[in-house]
Amino acid sequence: MTKGQIEAKISEAVSKFEIEFMGRGPKHIRSYIIQDIILIRLKGFLSHSEQKLSENSQGVELLKKLRGMLFESSRDYFEALIKEVVDVEIISTHSDVSTKTGEKIIVITLAENLENRFEK
């Protein structure tokens, strides 16, 4: 497969995860392979009630805490979905939500440079 095809498969896996474990999928998702890092950017994934909740600082804190706990509790499944696509050991996974833009960023570090698998 090409780099673009792998990136698309990663996006599909993340979308599946978001629907199954977070309650809804994003409106837009894009994955990027950068050497030994996978960067995933999700847009439009907050529900209407989460958007309303994030209108004040206490709501933002609560939303970030809740989303973080949900992600952490299902990390093993998430990483298994990604490993199934890339067939490389995952070193770590990081995630953050922007309540201002409604975006989520996930960064995955891998045990090897995935870009080396593709022709230049």
**Three-state secondary-structure class, residue 95:** strand
The alpha carbon torsion through 79, 82, 88, 5 (nearest 10 deg) reads -170
Q: What is the pTM of this model?
A: 0.90
| Domains of the chain from N-terminus onward | 3-115 (3.30.980)
The alpha carbon torsion through 33, 38, 39, 41 (nearest 10 deg) reads 90
CA distance 79 to 14: 10
Q: What is the pLDDT along the chain (120 residues), one digit of tens a residue?
A: 899 999 999 999 999 998 888 778 899 999 999 999 999 999 988 888 888 888 999 999 999 998 889 889 999 999 999 999 999 999 999 999 998 888 999 999 999 999 988 765
Residue in the block written with tokens 């847009």: 43
